Amino acid sequence: MAPKQKKKTSRGKKRLKPVLAASEDMEPVNMESMGHPEIYPLVLTTKTQEIFNCRIDEDVTDEQPYKLINKEDIFEDLRNRAAVSDFHPVKKIVQEYPGNELLLVYDKDFKYGLNFYLIATEEGKENYLNPPEVPEEQEEYKEHIPEDVYIYKPPVSKPWVSLGSEKEIEEESVTESTKQITYMISRKRSEFGAPIKFSDQNASSVKDAYIECTAYPDKNFTLKQLEKDVGMQVIPQIKDISTQTKWTYPKNATTQYYPREFSEEEKETLKQSKPLVDFLNNASISVEIALQQNEIMNTFIDDWKYLAEEEGTFGDKTDTHLKEYQSFTDLHSPTEKMITCVSWHPTIYGLIAVSVAVRLSFEDRVHFSGKLLLQPSLILFWSFSDPIHPQLMLESPDDIFCFKFCPSDPNIIAGGCINGQIVMWDITAHADRIENIKAGGSRSKRATLKPMFLLEPESNKEAMYIRHCAVSSIENGHKKVITDIHWLSDTFEINRMGSVFENRSGICCQLVTCSADCTICFWDIRPQKPLTPQTTEKKKEESIEIPFDVPSTFLHLDLSWKPLTKVRLSKGETSLDHCPTKISLNEDHLLCKTQDKMLAQSKTEKAEEMNPYHNLESGMANLLKPIDDFCTKFFVGTEEGEVIYTDWKMEKDPETGRLMSKKPVSHHTIHDGTVHTIQRSPFYNDIILTVGGWNVAIWKEGVMTGPLLQSCCAPKRYTSGHWSLTRPGVFYIGREDGYIDIWDLLEKTHEPAQSQNICITMITYIKPWIFSSKQQFIATADYYGTLHILEIPWTLSRPSTNEMASVNHYFEREVKHLEYVEQRKKIREQEKKEMELEMAKKKVKTYQKSKEQMQAELKMDYESYLELEKTVLINLGLIKVTEKGSYMEVM
C-alpha cells in the first residue's frame, strides 16, 4: 500500500494521523495471533514512504524505526489514492483511532510479515514509545536491540503507610522538655586585656570557694540483682603451714620400768578369794570348749593349698640321677695318689680343694720313704674353669689326711698330717689370684664349644706352690696320723680345763683334732704366754730361717705349737684306748648359710681393721666370761666301729689330783668296721649320722639306748657319707665299688632309694655344696685320685613341702619306738623272771616227791629202756627173736 509518513518523536508525544483502511469491507489483519492485537502489519511502497516521509533508511532508520503520522494525512492519502493507498486495509482502524497521531513502525526484520506495522491503540502507542513500562514492548524492543543493558529505573515514591512506628520513634527521641537557658558571662570591658594574676587557694579553707555535689546513695536507684552470672572453679583446699622448731641440744632420755607384780602372799590370798573361784569355774567352761574345738579340727587350714605339691620345678621331675659335671685329676704327679679329703671353698664359686696322699700301704710307705720325701705332699685347688691345671698347690711336710678352711677366714687352712702334725697355711697373699679365676672362668665359658683339652688358660701361669706357714710341735702333739680336724665355733672358746668361755675375738681361733694315738687335742692358734724357763730353748729353735714368701701369721706357732688340752679316750680298766677316727661337736659349721652370714659379718669387720688373724695377740688379755649350760659332750667314732658319746671337760681325779678326762657317757658298737663319718644333720642339731663298716646308723643326742635307725648290712662296704644340705631326710653314702647310695628316709628306710655308679674304685670322700637355689653339686673323691663333680638333680635338692616336719615326725617315732623297745625289754625281763620263778617252783615241786616213788619211776624207766634196747638190736639184726632169747634166759 502507500507508505505512510511518520513524524519524528523529538516533539514528544504526537498524535499520528489516523490511517484508514483502503476498503472498508476488508477487515485488517492484526497480530492478535501473535499476542499483539493492536499491531497491524502494513506494506508501504516507496511512494507512500515518500508521501509520509518514512522512507526506509532515510527517515526511518534503525535508531528511530517509528514515525508518528497524523490521522488527517492518512485520510488525505486515502482520498487521493483510494484503493491504491497502502493504508487501505487499515482504514477502519485509522478511523476508529481515538488519537490524532498514529505510530508507524518500520519492521525491518519482517517480524510481523510486512515491512511496516501500525499500532492501533493509544495505549499501544504509549507502550511503544515508552518501552520500560510495557513489558510487551520491552520484549519487542529487546528483540530489536539484543545487546540491551539493564536500564536503571529509579524507585517511584509511594505514599507512606503508617504502621505505628512513628510512636516508638517519638518515644525514643530526645527532645528538650524545657527551653534551655543561656547565660553569657563576660568581664567588665575595662578589664579586658589587663594582666592576670593567678594564685593558689585551698578549696577547703575558704568558705564557699567551691560547690560540690557530693555523691549520695539514692534509694531510687538501688537495684536488687536477682540474677547473677558467676563462674566457679573447684580447687583442692590448700593450706600452707610452716613451723619453726626450737632446737636446743639433743638429750638422751631413757626410761626404765618394771612390771607390777604381786607378792607371794598376795597371790595366795587372792587364790583363796571366792570371786576368783567363781570366775574360774565360769571361765573354764568356755575355755575348755574352745580348746576342744581346736583339738577336733583346725578350721583355718586351707585344704586346697595343702593338697597341692610344689610347682615350678626346674628340669625334669623324673630325672633323679646325679649328672656328671666335671672331673679333676692331677696329671702331673709321679706316683699314684688318692684323695683323702675334699673341701669346697666357702666363698668362691667353683673352687674346691683336695688333699692328696700317696696310695701306699704302711709297709710300702716305709719302704719307699726315701722316694716319698722328695715329692711334695699337696693340697690342690681346682677351679671349674680349668680342669687340667690346679690353681694353687699348698705344700705340706707330709701327706694330709684331713683339712678344713677356717670358717671366719677362708684364707686360713688347717690340715692334719699323717705324722701327727697340724699344718697351717695362710693364702691371703694369693687370695686375689684365686678370686679372679671367676673372671677368667666366665671368659672361658664362651668357648665351651671347644673340647675340654683344647682349652688353654688365659695366662700361662705356673701353678703356685705355697708353703705352709706353721706346723705344730712334733713332740707335744699327736704321735700318729691325725684323722679328723675341726675348727671350734667362734662363739666360744675353752681353756686348759675344758671349761667353756665366751669368745670375744669374734674369730675361730681354736681347733680340735683327733688322732690314731687315742687322744683328742684342743689347740689354740693364738700365741700362748710363754712359760719363762723355756724361752732360751725356744729361741734356739726359732733361729731357723724362714723363706721370705711365707706369711708370718703363725710364726709364733711354728714348731712350738702345743695343744691346749688333751683328752685321752681310755677304755676303762684295760690299758687299751679307743682310737678315734672322727668326732662331731655340738656346734658344727655344716650349714652353708650360717657360714655365709658369719663370713659376711667377719668381712665387714675386716674392712675396717686389720685382719685379726694377723693380730692374734690382741684378744688374749681379755677376761672371759664363762658360758654356763654349755654342752661339752661330743660324739666320737672309733676304728673298731664304736660310737662314743663323751665329755671333753676335764675333772680332777680325787686320788691323784691330776686332770683326768671323764668317762664316756654312752658307748655302742654298731658298725663292723671303722667309723669314717660322724655328722650332724644340717637341719637338726641332735641327729647324727654315723657310717662305718657295712652299715649306717642314725642317732639322736640324748637317746642313749641305741641308734634310731640302723641299716642292715649292705653288700658292699660303705666308705664315705654325708647328709644332703637341703633335704632333711636324704643322705649320700659312697661304697667301695664306686657307687653312691642315695638314701631317702621318707621313701625307704631299709635300703637306699637310689644307687648310682660314679667310678670304678672306692669312693673316699663325698661333699655336697650349694651354689644357688638351682644349682647344687656333690664332690666325690675316689681312690685313684680323681675328683668327680656331679650335679644334684632337682628332685634331690628341693625338699618337698613339710619334709622337715615329716622327717622330724619320723625321728620322734623312732625315739618312741626305742623307748617302747626298752620298755618291752623290761617287761620281757620281768616276764622272764616270772617264768623262771615258776620253773623253779615247778622244780621244787617235783623234788618234793617221795624217794620210793622216785625209785619206782627209775625202775620203770630202766625197764622201758631195756625194751627199747631189745627192739633196736632186733631191728639191727644182732639178736634173733624169741627162740634165742629164751635160750639166753635159760642160760
Partner 1 sequence: MNEWTNTGREPDPLPSSLPGPTAPGLGEPQAEVEETLKRIQSHKGVIGTMVVNAEGIPIRTTLDNSTTVQYAGLLHHLTMKAKSTVRDIDPQNDLTFLRIRSKKHEIMVAPDKEYLLIVIQNPCE
Of positions 221, 300, 362, 453, contacts partner 1 by CB under 8 A: 300
Return the number of the residue (114 or 804) whose C-beta is nearest partner 1.
804
Q: Which stretch binds partner 1 (CB under 8 A): 228-236, 271-279, 453-461, 658-666?
A: 271-279
Interface with partner 1 (CB under 8 A), residue total 30
Of positions 168, 191, 295, 462, contacts partner 1 by CB under 8 A: 295
Of positions 280, 447, 856, 860, contacts partner 1 by CB under 8 A: 280
Q: What is the nearest approach in angstroms of partner 1 to the Cβ of residue 288? A: 7
Q: What is the nearest approach in angstroms of partner 1 to the Cβ of residue 804? A: 14
DSSP assignment, residue 530?
Answer: P
Q: Is 307 in the site for partner 1 (CB under 8 A)?
A: no
Q: Which stretch binds partner 1 (CB under 8 A): 68-76, 281-289, 483-491, 649-657?
A: 281-289
Nine-digit cell string for 231: 563462674
Q: Which stretch binds partner 1 (CB under 8 A): 142-150, 269-277, 665-673, 743-751?
A: 269-277
Q: Is 10 in the site for partner 1 (CB under 8 A)?
A: no
Q: Which stretch binds partner 1 (CB under 8 A): 288-296, 368-376, 422-430, 591-599?
A: 288-296
Q: Is 713 in the site for partner 1 (CB under 8 A)?
A: no
Nearest to 735 by CA among 697, 691, 698, 777: 691
Of positions 270, 447, 620, 854, contacts partner 1 by CB under 8 A: 270
Return the number of the residue (170 or 261) whose C-beta is nearest partner 1.
261
Nearest to 362 by CA among 331, 399, 333: 399
DSSP assignment, residue 2?
Answer: P
Q: What is the nearest approach in angstroms of partner 1 to the Cβ of residue 684? A: 18
Q: Is 63 in the site for partner 1 (CB under 8 A)?
A: no
Of positions 301, 454, 610, 891, contacts partner 1 by CB under 8 A: 301
What is the sign of the dihedral through the CA atoms of 362, 693, 328 and 396? Answer: negative
Q: Is 802 in the site for partner 1 (CB under 8 A)?
A: no
Return the number of the residue (63 or 295) whose C-beta is nearest partner 1.
295
Return the number of the residue (594 or 808) whose C-beta is nearest partner 1.
808
Nine-digit cell string for 488: 671350734
Q: What is the nearest approach in angstroms of partner 1 to the Cβ of residue 816? A: 15
What does the alpha-carbon distance between residue 98 and residue 815 come to, in Å, rounded to a whole number?
Answer: 159
Nine-digit cell string for 690: 654315723
Return the number of the residue (300 or 304) whose C-beta is nearest partner 1.
300
Which H or E run contains 329? strand 323-329
Of positions 271, 443, 826, 828, contacts partner 1 by CB under 8 A: 271
Q: What is the nearest approach in angstroms of partner 1 to the Cβ of residue 271? A: 5
Q: Is 812 in the site for partner 1 (CB under 8 A)?
A: no
Which H or E run contains 101? strand 101-106
Nearest to 116 by CA among 39, 59, 204: 39
Q: Which residues on adjacent β-strands are paired with residue 626?
A: 501
Return the number of the residue (287 or 840) whose C-beta is nearest partner 1.
287
What is the sign of the dihedral through the CA atoms of 627, 628, 629 and 632? Answer: positive
Q: Are 401 and 417 in contact (CB under 8 A)?
A: yes
> How many alpha carbons lie under 13 Å from residue 382 in its C-beta half-sphere?
25
CA distances from 530 to 433, 537, 557 (A): 37, 11, 11
Q: Is 866 in the site for partner 1 (CB under 8 A)?
A: no
Torsion angles phi and psi, residue 633, rounded to 5: -95, 155
Q: Is 294 helix (H, G, I), strand (E, B) or coil?
A: helix
Of positions 233, 237, 272, 656, contacts partner 1 by CB under 8 A: 272
Q: What is the nearest approach in angstroms of partner 1 to the Cβ of residue 262? A: 6
What does the alpha-carbon distance between residue 356 and residue 793 come to, in Å, rounded to a whole number?
Answer: 28
Of positions 83, 287, 576, 827, contacts partner 1 by CB under 8 A: 287
Pairing mode, if any, of strands 492-494 and 464-466?
A: unpaired
Pairing mode, if any, of strands 510-515 and 500-502?
A: unpaired
Nearest to 581 by CA among 663, 480, 675, 646: 675
Of positions 159, 250, 275, 654, contacts partner 1 by CB under 8 A: 275
What does the alpha-carbon distance between residue 829 and residue 837 come to, in Å, rounded to a whole number?
Answer: 12
Q: What is the nearest approach in angstroms of partner 1 to the Cβ of residue 698? A: 23
Of positions 62, 82, 209, 279, contacts partner 1 by CB under 8 A: 279
Q: Is 282 in the site for partner 1 (CB under 8 A)?
A: yes
Helix H, strand E, coil C: the string for 141-206 is: HHHHCCCCCCCCCCCCCCCCCCCCHHHHHHHHCCCCCCCCCCCCCCCCHHHCCCCCCCCCCCCCCC
Q: Which stretch binds partner 1 (CB under 8 A): 273-281, 430-438, 737-745, 837-845?
A: 273-281
Q: What is the nearest approach in angstroms of partner 1 to the Cβ of residue 286? A: 5
Q: Are 700 and 687 in contact (CB under 8 A)?
A: yes
Q: Which residues on adjacent β-strands are paired with residue 507?
A: none
Of positions 24, 58, 133, 288, contacts partner 1 by CB under 8 A: 288
Q: Are 401 and 452 in contact (CB under 8 A)?
A: no
Q: Which are the contacts of 162, defined by CB distance < 8 A and separation ≥ 6?
A: none
Q: What is the nearest approach in angstroms of partner 1 to the Cβ of residue 302? A: 12
Of positions 33, 199, 254, 286, contacts partner 1 by CB under 8 A: 286
Q: Are 732 and 741 in contact (CB under 8 A)?
A: yes
Q: What is the nearest approach in angstroms of partner 1 to the Cβ of residue 685? A: 20
Torsion angles phi and psi, residue 774, rounded to 5: -105, -15
> How many alpha carbons lie under 13 Å from residue 509 in its C-beta half-sphere?
30
Of positions 82, 145, 209, 283, contacts partner 1 by CB under 8 A: 283
Per-residue interface string for the shown chain with partner 1, residues 220-259, x marking contact by CB under 8 A: ---------------------------------------x
Return the number of the residue (198 or 300) whose C-beta is nearest partner 1.
300
Q: Is 264 in the site for partner 1 (CB under 8 A)?
A: no
Return the number of the residue (58 or 812) whose C-beta is nearest partner 1.
812
Per-residue interface string for the shown chain with partner 1, residues 822-851, x marking contact by CB under 8 A: ------------------------------
Q: Which residue's entry shows cell 702333739?
A: 477
Return the number of the residue (299 or 886) whose C-beta is nearest partner 1.
299
Return the number of the residue (271 or 568) whose C-beta is nearest partner 1.
271
Of positions 260, 539, 845, 851, contacts partner 1 by CB under 8 A: 260
Q: Are 508 and 522 in contact (CB under 8 A)?
A: no
Q: What is the nearest approach in angstroms of partner 1 to the Cβ of residue 298? A: 5
Q: What is the nearest approach in angstroms of partner 1 to the Cβ of residue 277? A: 4
Nine-digit cell string for 513: 683334732
453-482: contacts with partner 1 (CB under 8 A): none
What does the alpha-carbon distance between residue 529 and residue 471 come to, in Å, rounded to a whole number?
Answer: 18
Torsion angles phi and psi, residue 337, rounded to 5: -120, 160
Return the number of the residue (292 or 656) whose C-beta is nearest partner 1.
292
Q: What is the nearest approach in angstroms of partner 1 to the Cβ of residue 474? A: 53
Return the number of the residue (267 or 652) whose C-beta is nearest partner 1.
267
> How many alpha carbons lie under 13 Å from residue 824 in its C-beta half-sphere?
6
What does the alpha-carbon distance between residue 728 and residue 804 come to, in Å, rounded to a whole number?
Answer: 6
Q: Which stretch binds partner 1 (CB under 8 A): 154-162, 290-298, 533-541, 755-763?
A: 290-298
Torsion angles phi and psi, residue 385, rounded to 5: -80, -20
CA distances from 117 to 4, 30, 196, 308, 666 (A): 10, 9, 95, 123, 165
Q: Is 628 in the site for partner 1 (CB under 8 A)?
A: no
Give contact residues for partner 1 (rule: CB under 8 A).
Answer: 259-262, 267, 270-277, 279-284, 286-288, 290-292, 294-295, 298, 300-301
